[in-house]
Amino acid sequence: MLCLGGKERNIRKKVVEMDLVEAVILLPEKLFYNTGAPGVVIIFNWKKDEIRKGKIPFVNASNEYEQHSEVRRLNRLKNIDKIVEVYREFKDVEGFSRVVTADEVKKNDYNLNVTLYVMPIEEGEKVDVVKEWEGLRRLENERAELIEEIGRYVGEIAKLGIYVERE
């Protein structure tokens, strides 16, 4: 359902225009045997509630996993309650879920790829600026001391009259 061309695009177009897509949920990778690809759950509903008409919630649950305890190459879905909650409550959660209008999906050529509408928030590294500045100043002081020491060695070598030819 996530490829972009031909007959399959026509199916996506039809189900979006008929307002049948209740939700699209992206699952983590390695949940199923014989494939590392992430799964996708598409929920269809012929009789959507009035509040859901003309809208599709996209849920990016791709990070909601833990390593399987018995099968090393598989993952297990976690935080299922969180996924169900955003689906039922029909709400936006930054980096996790977003309710999109059918018009926006149409503008994206009926693409139902969850990551087009919801990208997980990447956790950035927290930097202690004061600590980093102090470290930089310490390194600068060490560099200045080393240059001074090298200068003394060069002076002593010059006093001895030792010269090195350049090639």
The DSSP annotation for 32-95 comes to STT--SPPEEEEE-SS--GGGTTEEEEEE-TT-EEE-SS-TT-EEE--HHHHHHHHHHT--BTT
Residues facing residue 75 across a β-bridge: 67
Distance CA 151, CA 69 (A): 61
Fold of 6-117: Rossmann fold (3.40.50)
**pLDDT tens column, 14-46:** 999 999 999 999 988 888 877 778 889 999 999
DSSP label of 30: S
**pLDDT tens column, 133-152:** 888 899 899 988 989 888 88
- Which residue ranges make up each domain of the chain? 6-117, 125-167
